[in-house]
Structure 1
Amino acid sequence: MLSPATSSPERTVLGRVASVLEAFDEGHEVLSLSELYKLTGLPKSTLHRLADQLCQVGWIERDPGGYRVGMRLFELGNLAVEGKRLQEAAFPHLQALAAKTGMAAQLGILDQTEVVYLERIGGGSFRLPTRRGGRKPAYCTALGKAMIAFDEEAIQTVVTAEMPRKTANTITEPGALRSELGKVREFGVAFDRGEAYEEFVCVATPIRNAGRTLGAVSVTGPAGRMRWGMASEAVRSTAAAIWNANFSVDFRAVGSVRP
């Protein structure tokens, strides 16, 4: 009997899931259960159970002809493509931001109620708990607040979920967070005053046009070293530069844009 470490991919749960998802392609956008059985070679009982579970999480969807790829996978694919593109456009501007402020410059996107850190530059003189590819709750981070402030659906999702206290400064009351987000919309800048980690503070602003937030950029570091006014202006100009570097061209055809 093979051990888990030496089992072939199709014998693992992830391998079976992958075989189901990889059965779909341009020539097989909709597959019946019997077609999935032929393409994957999985036992029918296993396949039926996997299909039900994948439907529950939105990775595939039921169709009159059987099953098709679900919207959740489409969303995740777009997130990956757009995130990579945003990261490449932002990199030189984040370098300049880190050099100007002497703080760590970070780039994030929103995935439901969490910030996904696409990039972090600087912070060599201090060690940050965040990392590229890491995640943090949106409600207690400046990057998160900068993005959800302009998305009422995201706000509702965040304030109706649990918001556990991370530090003595964490905003945990829905009304207080809504008030804070109103200030973000008014001034275009979000603050983390030691809300995720007591010893670190952060200033962030969204990368956006009049109606769409692509991500957010921030500077973060030790509380005693933050120059709030200078940092606010620096992240604003950096967000505008990132937008102009890559995204304004794409949206010119559908109307005027501004950061």
Structure 2
Amino acid sequence: MTSSLTQCTSILPMESVVDSMDEYISSMEVDHVGTDVRLRPERTVMGRVAAIMGAFNGKQQVLGLGDLSESTGLPKSTLHRLADQLCQVGWIERDPDGYRIGIRMFELGSLAVEGNQLYEAAIPHLQALAAKTGMSTQLGILDQSEVVYLERIAVGAVRLPTRRGGRNPAYCTALGKAMTAFDDDAIRTVTSSPMLRRTTNTITDPAALRTELSQVRRVGIAFDRGEIYQDFVCVSAPIRSSGNVIGAVSVTAPAGRMRWGIATEAVRSTAAAIWNATHRLGGASTRL
């Protein structure tokens, strides 16, 4: 056995051997109750790939090895090897300054969203809402303590700071508050997660957020008063009936151009219309 191992390792650069052994050893998690040996998710190959892909969060289009190492905590030698493999399958692409998301991921992401029944049911209603209010509209679902944007329709020359497929914290967005308010588990998750101050209007106290969520639950409407982006405000309504929330719809505008009354009634009626449309399609799935 020792002879075989020596023969195998002798044909590999010592740096690669050491790196591989370190990865293997650090990936092991021993269950001291029994004899089970398990891989920690963040140390498995798939866990590391997920960490690399998660580093591309929209803030930077191109990430170098240094950026990826800082974001994932992985050594550059490991990143270089995995990045090469991800380039081969088209998940990321090489750039003169590093790496960017590959076209294959765009294709897969589009398939995931467009196959979502909530998305399919909501699109015509989002377009009608934008036309009626003259403001930008957004559709989102809740994932743990974050909002995932399934779609956004910008109106006029307004450049929304959000993007389709992007994420934002639930505690400081109207979409997030509209969905969180009707889910006790979500309330616990959101209020126990970090609540960093994004603007001067951000609610960062869990007790204050719970109070606001109680108000949202009573009236069925949530507001973002420049809490995540100082220059933008938002009105949102949950897409629900008497059961669980399956998503939320919102109207967004620059702070000085929001027509609060019109937006409130418009998102309320649009959320109800989307709910009805999803059930005509046989029920909604919020799975991405």
Q: Is the TM value for this pair above 0.5?
A: yes
RMSD of Structure 2 on Structure 1 (CA): 2.6
Q: Cα deviations across residues 47-70 of structure 1 (Å, max 9, x unaligned)?
A: 99486123999x99xxxxxxxxxx
- The reply on whether 1:91 has 2:123 as its aligned counterpart is yes
Change (3 A) 1:124 1:53: farther
- Cα distance in 1, alignment partners of residues 134 and 124 from structure 2: 15
Change (3 A) 1:49 1:250: same
Q: Which residue of 2 aligns with 1:241?
A: 273
CA contact (8 A) 1:138 1:144 kept: yes
State the identity %. 65
- Cα distance in 1, alignment partners of residues 208 and 43 from structure 2: 34
Structure with the greater alpha carbon radius of gyration: 2
Q: Cα deviations across residues 187-225 of structure 1 (Å, max 9, x unaligned)?
A: 000000000011100000000121211000000010111
- Cα distance in 2, alignment partners of residues 170 and 206 from structure 1: 21
Q: Which residue of 1 aligns with 2:222?
A: 190
How far has the Cα of 1:247 moved from its partner? 2.1
Q: Cα deviations across residues 228-252 of structure 1 (Å, max 9, x unaligned)?
A: 111011001111111111226646x
Q: Which residue of 1 aligns with 2:40?
A: 53
Q: Which residue of 2 aligns with 1:158?
A: 190
Picking from 141, 145, 151, the partner of 1:109 is: 141
- Cα distance in 2, alignment partners of residues 211 and 56 from structure 1: 38
Q: Cα deviations across residues 168-190 of structure 1 (Å, max 9, x unaligned)?
A: 10011111101110110010000
What secondary structure does 1:175 align onto? helix
- The reply on whether 1:133 has 2:165 as its aligned counterpart is yes
What secondary structure does 2:253 align onto? strand
Letter of the 1:237 partner, please give it. Answer: S
Picking from 200, 203, 213, the partner of 1:181 is: 213
TM-score (norm 2): 0.60
Q: Where do 1:56-75 residues align within 5 Å?
A: none
CA contact (8 A) 2:172 2:228 kept: yes
CA contact (8 A) 1:206 1:213 kept: yes
Q: Which residue of 2 aligns with 1:219?
A: 251
**Count of residue correspondences:** 188
How far has the Cα of 1:153 moved from its partner? 1.0
- Cα distance in 1, alignment partners of residues 218 and 208 from structure 2: 16
Structure 2 unaligned spans of 5+: 1-20, 29-37, 48-111, 284-288
What secondary structure does 1:217 align onto? strand
How far has the Cα of 1:167 moved from its partner? 0.5
- Cα distance in 1, alignment partners of residues 274 and 25 from structure 2: 45
Q: Which residue of 2 aligns with 1:206?
A: 238
TM-score (norm 1): 0.66
CA contact (8 A) 2:154 2:160 kept: no
Structure 1 unaligned spans of 5+: 1-42, 61-79, 252-259
Q: Cα deviations across residues 66-89 of structure 1 (Å, max 9, x unaligned)?
A: xxxxxxxxxxxxxx5797221111
Picking from 206, 209, 231, the partner of 2:263 is: 231
CA contact (8 A) 1:216 1:239 kept: yes
